[in-house]
Each structure stands twice: as C-alpha cells, then as structure tokens.
C-alpha cells in the first residue's frame, strides 16, 4: 500500500474514486461527441467540410500536446490543484463551445477544451492507483476503466439525440452541470497537496515533443484529404515530425532534467505496456467510427438503430469489466490474451458480414467487442504499472494515454484510407465487366433482377456496384483490425509475471 493510501480513510477513498470517475467520464464523453454534431455545426456556420473538421482536428491536437505535461504539472502544482483546475477549466470551455457564434470561436474553445482537459484522464488514473492499496488495483482499475470505454460510446449517442431534439449546442451544455458537480467533489475529497518542488520545465524537450506530436497529428488528420504523400504539405509535416522527435530523443538522453524520463522504458512491463496500449487504442475506437458510416450510407440503417448497436458495445464493456473481478486474480497475460483473442473473433466475424446483415448480428458483435475491450483494460493497466514507484505514476500515465490516443487516430486514418482506395479500385474492376461485349449481361437467368437495357437500369446497377465495392473496402479495414488484435497477442506473451 502506498503512503497516500495509508493516510486516506476508506470512505474518503470511495468518494475520491466517485469524483475522479465522474470527471474523467465527462472528458472521455467529449472525445467523439463532435463527430455526431458536425453536419449541424457545418450548416449553422455555413462552413465547408474541411473547415468544420478543424473543430475535431484542433481538439485532438491540443490534447496530444498537453497530455505529456501531466507529470510536470503534478510535480509543480500538486494533484488536487491540477485536477480541480483542469476539470473547472474544461467545464467552462465546454459551456463556451455551446455559446460560440462563429466557426473561429468554436475552434478556439475546442482547443482550450482539449488542452486544459488533457491531464484529466492520466492524472485520474494515477490518483486512483495511488489512493487504493496495490491488492485492490484490479478492482479500482476496472471501475475507472469504464470511463475510457463507455465515455466515447455515451457521448455521440446522447449528444446526437440532444442535437436532433434541440440543436448541437445542447450536446455541450449537457456536460456543464455534471462538470460543476465534479469540480466541487474533487475540491472536497482530494487530500491537500504537499508543497510542490520548483522543478524547471525542460523547454527544449517540451517544445520538440510538442512539435513532433502536432506535426504527426496533422499528418494523420489531413493525410486522407490531401492524398497523403502526393501532397507537399504532408511531406513537410512528416519531415518536421521526424526531425523534432529526433531532437527530443537526443536532448532527453543527454540532459540532466529531461521533460520525460526515458529511463522508465528500461522497465520491461512498462515498455511492453506502452506498445500494447497503442494497439489497444487502435482497435478500441475503430469499429465505433467505421460501422455507423457503413450502416447508414450503404446498408440503409436509420440513426436510431445505429445508436442502439453502438449502445450494445457499452453493455458488453460493462460485462467485460465485471468479468475482470474474477480474471484479476489470474496472471495479467491471461486476461489480455483472452481479450485480444475475443477481438480477433469479432474481427473475423465482421469480415464475414455482407450488406444484408441484420441488426441482431451487429448487436451481438458489438457486445463481444465491448466484453473484449473491458477485459483487456484492467490487466493491461495492472501489468504496465506493477513495478513503477508512485512518484512516477503521473508522468508514466501521461505517456500511456498519449500513445492510446495516437494509436487510435493513426489506425482510424489508415482504415479510412484503405476503405476509400480499395473501394475505388474494386469499383473500377467491377465496372470493367459492364460492357456491350459481355454476353453474360444478356442472359436473364444469370442477371437476376438486374438489367442494362436502359439508362435507369444502368444507374441502379452502378449504385449496387458502388455498395459492393465499398463493402469490400470495409472488409479489408476489418481485416486490418483483426490483424492488429492478433499481433497484440504475440506481445502479451512477452510480459513478465506479476510478483506478489
């Protein structure tokens, strides 16, 4: 048990857990909430699709830049002051997002929202692990982990309902009362901070890392729109990211007080945990992002059914976290292997679907995904931080959650690229067969209900070819999802058994 856990009574520990979970859930809820609001916001501000996308891009960018500062902010100002300030600032910025009357204003407050709220999840995770005894790490990690899994599910679903019933501003307003309650609860429950050390900020290391992350996020966010390395902008941003990251590594390995302590990577489980959490980020959000567009655009599902399908993933996540109460007693590698194995099964299942799939099948698949990601989170967290001292938790957690976010952004971008390119390629190949010289087109028994006799018939056939070509692209993306989950199992086997 850590010193902090020894000093805090049980009742107060539970109150801290409740306050921290509330605050971090609110932040996780906003990660994808803008995705359900973009069409309404675009119409409200008369913006182009590229312009309105900046409301999401800059939010992710600010989050990625500020997240690594969690360790420094905690050491300098203390946990309570940092956490309360972040939650209060995040709540105010969220309200101002709803009040924005121009595109520039909403982008500005989305930047503030992402930046000031960035330390909330890694710091919350560190507070939870340091407040409770090590023997209860699995239990409290499962409770806290629900924020990571369920928050991004709740946000788009509830935000979409409010936006449809009222307007997009209410998707932001819904967070404000709970944010005010979380701020008050954290202020009352967290123990007072001890005098902080006047640590100097390694400005060169911070600026180099921030530049590298910013450039990488811009490449990820804009690569598909600009056709990747056919664009001079993407080439320049990639060069900046590589150069800045080299400067960060070279400086961090030679300075006395680096911005991030790279010596933590000598801990085998922590280094392996960073690899696994990157893969976890890759496979966690990808189906949530890909399936709604597939079902709405090509399978003809209404928004209400799509929201219900996504909701079953949340149900599965709750079941998965409940299972960790039993699995937590086992070797963490068993739980992670089981979870990633279930994701492989889910991915193979998705690859076998077609556009005639029924809602029940999709709900069961979504539930299986939720169970899998729920099972993975607790043993992954326990293994990664089992051998780290409490004083390193905030800094280590910031890198942990940073890589989770980067993995998610990068993999979603790669999957979307595969869908677009593979769909276009398959469409081109299929349409090559639609010619007057193809005698099969004149055989009614082989053509079924399709015809090429009139322009209307050709248009109908063209739409069907577009649907089937797009489905092949989605199947390839689900194949990437399956492969990433399978590779993770190989890394799980490299972990060291947790010592008692």
Is the pLDDT reported for residue 89 higher than 90? yes
Residue located via tokens 């007057």:
436
pLDDT grade for 413, boundaries at 50, 70 and 90:
confident
Yes or no: say if 32 and 156 are a contact pair by the CB < 8 Å rule. yes
- For CA atoms 125, 128, 129, 134, give the dihedral sign: negative
Give yes or no for a contact between 491 and 276, defined as CB atoms under 8 angstroms apart.
yes
pLDDT band at 1 (very low <50, low <70, confident <90, very high): very low
Task: Tell me the pLDDT tens digit for each residue of 381-403.
Answer: 888 887 777 777 777 877 887 88
Do residues 146 and 21 lie in contact, with contact meaning Cβ atoms separated by under 8 Å? yes
Token readout for 300 is 């003809």
* pLDDT value for 62: 82
In sequence order, what are the residues at sequence separation of 6 or more whose Cβ sits closer than 8 angstroms to the Cβ of residue 423?
Answer: 469, 470, 472, 473
- Dihedral sign, CA of 187, 25, 412, 278? positive
pLDDT cut 70: percent of the chain above it:
85
Mean pLDDT of 336-358: 90
Q: What is the CA radius of gyration of the chain?
A: 24
Handedness of CA 14, 20, 23, 26 (dihedral sign): negative
Listing DSSP states for 257-317 in one string gives S-SS-GGGGGSHHHHHHHHHHHHHHHHHHHHHHHHHHHHHHTS---HHHHHHHHHHHHHHH
Q: Angle, to 10 degrees, between the axis of helix 137-165 and the axis of helix 10-30?
A: 40
Provide mean pLDDT across the span 208-228: 80
State yes or no: pLDDT of 3 exceeds 60: no
Q: Is 159 helix (H, G, I), strand (E, B) or coil?
A: helix
Looking at residue 195, its pLDDT comes to 59
pLDDT interval class at 256 (50, 70, 90): confident
* Dihedral angle of Cα 428, 431, 437, 438, to the nearest 10 degrees: 120
Q: Give the residue carrying structure tokens 């595109």.
A: 103
- Which tokens is 42 given? 């675009």
DSSP sequence for 414-463: HHHHHHHHHHHHHHHHHHTT-STT-GGGG-HHHHTT---SSHHHHHHHHH
SS3 191: coil
Judged by DSSP in three states, 67 sits in helix
How sure is the predictor about 78, in pLDDT bands with cuts at 50, 70 and 90?
Answer: confident
320 and 370 Cβ atoms separated by less than 8 Å: yes
Q: Do 17 and 131 meet the contact criterion of CB atoms below 8 Å apart? A: yes
pTM: 0.77
Q: Which CATH number fits domain 262-431+464-500: 1.20.1250.20, 3.30.1360.30, 1.10.3720.10, 3.30.70.100?
A: 1.20.1250.20
How many C-beta atoms surround the C-beta of residue 35 within 10 A?
17
Q: What is the pLDDT of residue 500?
A: 41
pLDDT in tens, 193-212: 765 555 666 778 888 888 88
- CATH 1.20.1250.20 residue ranges for the chain: 1-201, 262-431+464-500
CATH class of 1-201: mainly alpha
Neighbours of 457 (CB within 10 A): 14
């Amino acid at each position: 048990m850590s010193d902090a856990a020894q000093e805090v009574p049980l009742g107060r520990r539970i109150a801290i857990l409740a306050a921290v979970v509330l605050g971090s859930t609110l932040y996780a809820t906003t990660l994808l909430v803008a995705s359900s609001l973009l069409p309404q916001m675009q119409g409200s501000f008369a913006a182009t699709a590229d312009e309105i996308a900046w409301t999401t891009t800059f939010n992710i960018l600010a989050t990625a830049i500020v997240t690594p500062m969690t360790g420094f902010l905690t050491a300098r100002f203390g946990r309570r002051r940092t956490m309360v300030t972040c939650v209060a600032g995040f709540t105010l910025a969220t309200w101002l997002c709803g009040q924005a009357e121009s595109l520039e204003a909403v982008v500005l407050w989305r930047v503030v929202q992402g930046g000031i709220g960035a330390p909330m999840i890694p710091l919350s995770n560190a507070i939870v692990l340091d407040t409770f005894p090590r023997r209860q790490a699995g239990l409290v990690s499962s409770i806290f982990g629900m924020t990571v899994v369920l928050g991004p599910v709740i946000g788009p679903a509830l935000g979409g309902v409010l936006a449809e019933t009222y307007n997009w501003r209410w998707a932001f307003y819904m967070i404000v009362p709970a944010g005010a309650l979380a701020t008050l609860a954290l202020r009352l429950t967290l123990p007072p901070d001890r005098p902080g050390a006047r640590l100097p900020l390694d400005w060169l290391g911070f600026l180099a890392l921030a530049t590298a992350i910013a450039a990488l996020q811009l490449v990820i966010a804009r690569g598909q729109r600009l056709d990747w390395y056919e664009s001079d902008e993407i080439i320049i941003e990639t060069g900046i990211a590589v150069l800045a990251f080299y400067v960060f590594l070279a400086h961090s390995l030679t300075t006395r007080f680096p911005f991030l302590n790279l010596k933590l990577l000598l801990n085998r489980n922590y280094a392996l945990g960073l690899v696994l959490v990157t893969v976890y980020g890759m496979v966690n959000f990808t189906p949530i992002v890909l399936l709604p567009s597939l079902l709405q655009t090509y399978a003809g599902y209404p928004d209400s059914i799509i929201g219900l399908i996504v909701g079953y993933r949340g149900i599965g996540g709750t079941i998965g976290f409940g299972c960790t109460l039993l699995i937590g007693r086992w070797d963490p590698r068993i739980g992670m292997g089981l979870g990633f194995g279930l994701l492989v099964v889910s991915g193979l299942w998705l690859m076998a679907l077609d556009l005639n799939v029924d809602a029940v099948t999709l709900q069961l698949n979504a539930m299986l995904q939720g169970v899998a990601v729920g099972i993975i989170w607790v043993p992954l967290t326990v293994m990664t931080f089992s051998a780290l001292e409490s004083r390193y938790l905030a800094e280590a957690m910031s890198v942990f959650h940073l890589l989770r976010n980067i993995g998610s952004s990068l993999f979603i971008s790669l999957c979307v690229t595969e869908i677009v390119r593979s769909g276009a390629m398959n469409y081109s190949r299929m349409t090559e067969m639609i010619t007057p010289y193809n005698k099969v087109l004149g055989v009614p028994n082989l053509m079924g209900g399709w015809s090429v006799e009139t322009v209307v018939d050709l248009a109908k056939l063209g739409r069907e070819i577009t649907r089937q070509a797009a489905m092949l692209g989605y199947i390839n993306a689900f194949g990437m999802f399956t492969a990433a989950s399978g590779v993770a199992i190989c890394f799980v086997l490299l972990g060291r058994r947790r010592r008692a």
